[in-house]
Amino acid sequence: MNNKLGYLIRTIGHLHVCGSKLGPSFRTAMRTYTLGISRHKSAIQSVNMRRFLLNVPPCWLESSLRLLSQGVPVYSKGDSTVQEQNATKTLLDEHVQSSSSALDTLEEDRSDVEENLVVKSKRSQSQQFFDDLQKCTSPCDVLDLVSKSAISEKLCSNCFTTMWALTKKLSEDQKRYEKQLMVQHPAFMQLCQHLMQESRSMWCDDLVYSLHAVLKLGVPPNTRLVQTLLRVCQERLNEFDNRCLSVVSTTLATMEKSRNVDALQAGLQLLVEQRIPKISNIFMLQSMMKCSGKDAPLSLKRKFENRVLKELDNLTPLNAQHMFSALAAMNHCSVPILDACSNKIIESIHGTPFWQLIQVLRSCSILQYRNVVLYSAIANYVTSAIYMWDTKQIVLLLSAFEGLRFRPVELMNILAEKVTSHPESLNLKDILHVLRVYSLLNHVPQCQNQEFLESLNGALNKYLTRISNVDLLKAVYSFCILEYLPQPALSQLLQEDNLSELLKSGQALMYS
């Protein structure tokens, strides 16, 4: 018994030596554990003691192990028993096991920390790349950035969409110049190759936006890159959500027919037909309607129509404006939908963009939909805000009305006054449009009729040296309907060479 007590005292003494190395928190824990203060808390304290030992750093554990194994005689040579030897062995084994488990825990924590550092490093690199990408001002800036960085499939897609966003705001001449520099850049081929390789592992939205951007950047549809993206879209079509389907629909609407385009179009129609009842976003529905096109089966057009009819109460004025072009793209005239959309447009006519008004009128012409109330509302709105429109815009609007056989009298009188006072504002195309509109609608301005026709004649005379014989014939014909004889134009038309050319072109048209 005395031997056991001595062993316990020596063990506690060496633990205090370890405690001087481990710090005050360890000594406090040991003091509480050995003295047994608050006996009802001993179980909690023992658990806390084990946790403390498991979290001890390896260097401290190694020092404590050396103290236990070297400086402490664990048994007396003459008085020890087998039980004491077994108890000592068990104590050492438990201590070694606890220290090894603590080391394993520390190794796992260290590996987790290293993994977190790697992930954070990648995130910081990606964020830095995105920040640099937003600072680019041209496609070549994007390609310069690509040549300096290792990019993922997400970054690859963002590079193409950024290049397209930078070029679409430029003029046509600038677009051609920038696209030429882009194609000649050494990193462009590398970026295309990377996109082609990563296309099957990309997120669906990155895939469809990449296809859209590549085509908008002027990459020919028959290239391996575009055909690969089309095939991957076919393979992953079932993974696409409604937004991805909408983007693909918009992209395919601009592409010429080919084997991969037709296959993707057919698969898209089948998938859209299944999903129509679940589509609640009107813009997505309209994009799919446009993509389906005039060749869509009548059953699909009917399903689109029924789905739109259920959403009529939720249509916004902008939805109503785009619905005309969506139905025109399918060549499907749904009078209930068009009537409801017309009422929406009439209610919010003020502030409607000019090109949207033109699109609505042209869609009405395609669908052969006649709504005089809608036409009058558009004409009255343009007339009331005539200061907002220039002469060319009014000419385009009247051309759209002419296709509908609708005569906005007040608007035509206002244009006649503008032409009379400023005939130099019209180019040759505008002059031909004005003559065609006024002659086909048989409209003679209420006042200054002669001055109006003379102004048009004077404007036409400036283009007699470069007008084609066919256009000259059309202009003279329109003047004659308006009961006006343009002498210089008529004299040029009656020249023998011009008449012979017109006869030949007429015969060619008859036999073509």
Q: What is the pLDDT of residues 16-36, one digit of tens each?
A: 545 544 444 444 444 444 434
Candidates 323, 278, 285; CA nearest to 304 is: 285
H or E element at residue 509: helix 496-511
pLDDT at 128 (0 to 100): 86
Q: What mean pLDDT do residues 426-431 have? A: 92
Number of neighbours of residue 78 by Cβ within 10 angstroms: 5
**pLDDT one-digit tens code per residue, 305-327:** 999 999 998 899 999 999 999 99
Tokens of 126: 């990606």
Looking at residue 312, the DSSP 8-state letter turns out to be: G
**CA-CA distance, 354 to 22, in Å (whole number)?**
81
CB 296: neighbour CB atoms within 10 A? Answer: 22
Q: Who wins on pLDDT, 81 or 348?
A: 348
Residue 1 has pLDDT above 80, yes or no: no
Lowest mean pLDDT segment, chosen from 67-71, 93-97, 108-112, 479-483: 67-71
Least confident of 76-85, 180-189, 290-299, 384-393: 76-85
- Other beta carbons within 10 angstroms of residue 323's beta carbon come to 27
Task: Please give the pLDDT value at position 503.
Answer: 86
**Confidence class for position 303, pLDDT limits 50, 70, 90:** very high
Overall pTM surpassing 0.95 (yes/no): no
Contact predicate 220/226, CB 8 Å: yes
What was the pLDDT predicted at 96? 46
pLDDT, tens digit, 9 for 90 and up, residues 108-167? 555 554 555 444 445 577 788 888 888 999 999 999 998 887 777 678 889 999 999 999
Q: How many CA atoms lie within 13 A of 444 on its CB side?
A: 11
Model confidence at 400: pLDDT above 90: yes
